[in-house]
Structure 1
Amino acid sequence: MQLIDRALNALEILSQNMNGMSVTDLAEQLGIPASSTHRILSSLKGNHFVVQDEHTKKYRLGYKICAIATGVVKGSALTQAAQMPMRRLAEKIDRNVVLCIMEHGAVMNVACSERGDSNMYMVKIGHEIPFYSTSAGRVFMAYMNWSEALDILDREKRTKTTPNTKTDLKELNEELDRIHNQGYAVIDEELQMGIIGAACPVFDRNGELAAAIAFTSMKDGDTEKMFQRICQLKECAKEISEAIR
């Protein structure tokens, strides 16, 4: 079991270092000897889960991981139901549209329809995103009890990634109430300067929060256009909610 845990941890670390890692660097992050790390990588390489660069000798994820991830996404009723509405919305607003879920106390991007400016905030499928400084993360917290949200906020470092990032608990509490009442969240240059994002809740047949649908955009100062996009986002969220009921 320990070997399996270490192999899975190695894959997770490699997923966050797309340029590859040396045996030494990976061993340091895993907290195990380089010899043990080398054995793990050799096994993963033999099964095509990782590949090794011939020149740098660094290891990175192999395409077999992509095949597994694709199978997970395609096999989800939620992602299947969201696929076409997301694509239509992305075409309408000419922006990246992302589907996020909460699993094991973390918010994760699970699907994306890419459109618009390639310079926008990069969406990585399968990667966790912060609760406190993303529109999807705040949607999930807005539909929790404040005590649950507070546990998450206490766990996160709440680093100010931009001058606009909200980190004050009182301010965040008020923001979550506002999100719950209006049915959407907006992040205005809080995660990255020049980027604005919005998210809406998706509900299952029991009326429980199942996911959040979000988009990111370069900030252009056109508030009327932004409001139109949010209205279209709400319609998309409603369509997905109806499809999974």
Structure 2
Amino acid sequence: MSQEEYKNEDERIKARLKQKSWNEIRSNDSWAIFKIMSEFVNGFESMARIGPSVSIFGSARTKPDDKYYLLAEKIAEKIAKAGYGVITGGGPGIMEAGNKGAHHGGGPSIGLNIELPFEQHYNPYIDRDKNLNFDYFFVRKVMFVKYSQGFVVMPGGFGTLDELFEAITLIQTKKIAKFPIILVGREFWTGLMDWIEQTVINKYENASPNDLKLIKIVDTEDEVLDVIDSFYKKYNLSPNF
């Protein structure tokens, strides 16, 4: 039974708890491997053609007249004009603002879309050949971190926090290179960063003070580009131009 065929959440939970026969497992779970594999192959082949890019994360619920939507659009346009591609989750809100700015800036505008029961639909500012669709969150997340050379995190909800901490964890554990992580909006992020420093690090010692050095908090599009450009100059790299 597919997700859309469940009548309600109770039915879905009961189905997950039901003891499956070996034939059911083999016919459903095992064959899903090929669908997962196809998403990885398509993602790798499509994303490998794109040059240095920056991922922009943020809420799908942000309205077009919100100050953070307008700021994300300016950030993405500036990033694109500097020669970088822009990768978003492909949906509305901050994602749309990111793709819109990249489109206006003349740079690659990539959308990694996913089917969700609410919020998600692809926005019209993604390049026609760079709109990828995924069924699996974990495949989509691999594409974000494998093909991004920087992460710009706008205000958002649980999905945005998940993407932020995924990037921090992978850099902290040296699974990916130490690319810049930029939090935009001091009024939004300062409370979280204070809690991490005072509670997670100082009180419980569950992380290292050095981990905070991975993160920059800014308020403007110029600050975002300064962080990204400084990183590239430090390693004598250049973007797409």
Q: TM-score under structure 2 normalisation? A: 0.31
Please report the TM-score for the alignment, with normalisation by the length of structure 1: 0.31
Which structure has more relative contact order (CA 8 Å, sep 6+)? It is 2
